[in-house]
Structure 1
Amino acid sequence: MKKIMSRNAVGGAAIVMASMSAGLESSQSIAAASAPSMASAASAPVATRKENRALRKLVYAAFAKDKSIDAGDIGVSAKDGAVTLTGTAADAAQIEKAATLAKGVPGVTSVTNKLTVRRNFAQ
């Protein structure tokens, strides 16, 4: 093998360089061909995050419209239409009211209510 390489070192190097160059070009064309699909795949989670964020804001807006509910300690998370309420409320009636309001928001498909009654600590 050494004798072949020493006799054809210049020619072999040219063949290796040519094949490396061809491999680079083909990998670039593959990358270019797959770039649009990668961009659309990357934008899908961004769009989903924006939709989830918009749904959360709509639920918070529904809470703000209803003056009978104190939503200061209520957290809202949304994922593909499924809303989860976390935190505390003043009483059980407010917990139910928060769930009802969230269910009434357009785009909400389900509500998981993890709210608990706020405990007042004696001082």
Structure 2
Amino acid sequence: MKTMNGLRVALGVAIAAASISGWAQDGASAGASAGTASAAVTASGGMTATAARQANRALRRKVYAALAKHKEIDAGNIGITAKGGAVTISGTVPDASLINTVAEVAKGVEGVTSVGSKLTVQKPFGE
């Protein structure tokens, strides 16, 4: 019984330390602090809700960063949601060929387990 209480205290200290270090870091390393937070687990072995949200936001930022590296992709009309490694991309692109390109770029991001695409081709004004 004492061992179990000791483990809970140690886990609490680890989570608190990860939270404090996340606040102390600047924006350039925010992705790294989110990665640390994703290691936080509950006593039952699952992720805490806060850690899961932070991990999802970090993955979403990674996908946006990967899209930004491709000059032919305008991410301004693209929305990304991430949940547990599953990424859903929605919005519009100017050309049908970019639908597959955006999906392939997202699949190449570390941490992405699956990609769902709800992208459509942007219609010209007046049509």
TM over 0.5: yes
Q: Deviations over 1:45-94 (max 9, x none)?
A: 00000000000000000010111111110000000000000111111111
Which consecutive residues of structure 1, in runs of 5 or more, have no partner in the other structure? 1-32
Q: What is the RMSD of the two structures over their aligned residues, measured on CA atoms?
A: 2.1
Aligned length, in residue pairs: 87
Aligned pairs (5 A) from 1:13-32: none
Q: Deviations over 1:23-47 (max 9, x none)?
A: xxxxxxxxxx8xx69x847x70000
Aligned to 1:99: 103
Which consecutive residues of structure 2, in runs of 5 or more, have no partner in the other structure? 13-41
Could you say what secondary structure the match of 1:86 adopts?
Answer: strand
Aligned to 2:88: 84
The structure in which a higher percent of residues are helix is: 1
Q: Sequence identity, in percent?
A: 54
Q: Give the 4+ runs in structure 1 shifted more than 3 A.
A: none
Hey, what's the Cα distance between the residues in 1 that align with 2:101 and 2:75?
A: 10
Aligned to 1:112: 116
Aligned to 1:67: 71
* Relative contact order, higher structure (CA 8 A, sep 6+): 1
